[in-house]
Amino acid sequence: MSATASAHDARLRELAGLIERSTGQDGVHTTAIQALQFSRLSAPMALPMRGVQEAALCLIVQGAKRAILADEVYDYDASRFVVASVDLPVTGQVTRASAEAPYLCLILKLSPSTIAELVTEAESARAPLPPPSRGLFLQPSSVEMLDAAIRLVKLLDTPHDIPLLGPLIEREILYRVLCSPQGAMLRHIGIADSQGQRVAKAIHWLRQHYAQPLRIDHIAREVHMSASALHHHFKAVTAMSPLQYQKQLRLQEARRLMLSEVMDAASAGHRVGYESPSQFSREYSRMFGAPPVRDVERLRSL
């Protein structure tokens, strides 16, 4: 094993120990650092779970996971981290975890304002901007990235240092992503009126108004793009059309309403914007593999 690989593994073990100390049980754990969360799971997931991955950097330090965006599959473990530069409907499944070596993941939510500052200030982050590309990408983790992550997590032991040092370390981590070969899409988010930032605004609009009828011309005007340009760049970033994105948001929210608020299928479908119960049931079955009632019963029995 090379010295670099050995140092990389040592950093992973140290970071795993720090996260395990801060969690100790399965689940998603918030921290005293607002942008920082930990995820822990002591067994592989029996079923993949659908949800919206908010813009964040996810750094696995132990275990492995699979994420699916539309029909694209992203497998990653402690050798690579994943970045979602915008909010994306994904299917996720932890594929490697055990009681002895639980799945451990550091999640750092992205700050568009910090990214904008870095793009302005850092010369190496101001390379020519290519057209918007996929908003989900993998990148090999480095010793430098892990060092910064360790320093950020260690701040939890000295809460009085968090207000001053926390933002500095977050900036360092984001800077390293911006300067990576895959960092161009993240730079889009920090550049005012770039095509990527306009797509991000369209995504935000859809998340706020998913239950309303989709009028692409209206959204295009909201983000100052032509309808054809919005459709083209939206699909480049999300791997789906605005209509497909809206459909995933609607069906995921309907599923949540039936599970969490014990709402019947017809009411849930109507709440998220479906006028036809049969259309709702048909599209729900296509997405989740079973009609609403049967799917919810299955999930409650797990």
Q: Do 160 and 216 share a domain, yes or no?
A: no
pLDDT in tens, 283-296: 999 999 999 999 99
Q: Of 160, 188, 216, which marks where a domain is finished?
A: 188
Q: Do 140 and 241 share a domain, yes or no?
A: no
Q: Do 169 and 234 share a domain, yes or no?
A: no
Q: Do 83 and 140 share a domain, yes or no?
A: yes
Longest CA span, the chain: 62
CB-CB contact of 40 with 104 (8 Å) = yes
Q: pLDDT above 90 covers what percent of the chain?
A: 84
pLDDT band, very low/low/confident/very high, at 268 (cuts 50, 70, 90)? very high
Q: Do 234 and 284 share a domain, yes or no?
A: yes
pLDDT band, very low/low/confident/very high, at 153 (cuts 50, 70, 90)? very high
Host domain of residue 182: 3-188
Q: Of 188, 214, 233, which marks where a domain is finished?
A: 188
Ramachandran region of residue 75, left (φ > 0), alpha (ψ -120 to 50) or beta?
A: beta
Q: Do 237 and 178 share a domain, yes or no?
A: no
Q: Do 215 and 235 share a domain, yes or no?
A: yes
Q: Do 255 and 302 share a domain, yes or no?
A: yes
User: 94 pairs with which residues across the strands?
Assistant: 65
Count the neighbouring beta carbons within 10 Å of the beta carbon of residue 233.
Answer: 22
Segment 145-165 mean pLDDT: 97
pLDDT in tens, 186-220: 889 888 889 999 999 999 999 999 999 999 999 99
- Whichever domain contains 132, its CATH number is 2.60.120.280
In the chain, the number of structural domains is 2
CA distances (Å), origin 198, targets 14, 160, 167, 174, 216: 40, 38, 26, 21, 14
pTM: 0.92
CB-CB contact of 206 with 272 (8 Å) = no
CB-CB contact of 127 with 181 (8 Å) = no
Q: Do 170 and 203 share a domain, yes or no?
A: no
Beta-sheet strand order (sheet of 136-140): 27-30, 36-41, 103-109, 56-62, 80-84, 136-140
DSSP state of 226: -
- Whichever domain contains 197, its CATH number is 1.10.10.60
pLDDT in tens, 47-70: 889 999 999 999 999 999 999 999
Q: Which amino acid, one-letter code, is at 179? A: C
pLDDT higher than threshold 80 for residue 86: yes
Q: Of 141, 161, 188, which marks where a domain is finished?
A: 188
CA dihedral 109→142→117→29, nearest 10 degrees, is 20
What does DSSP say about strands 49-53 and 56-62: parallel, antiparallel, or unpaired?
Answer: unpaired
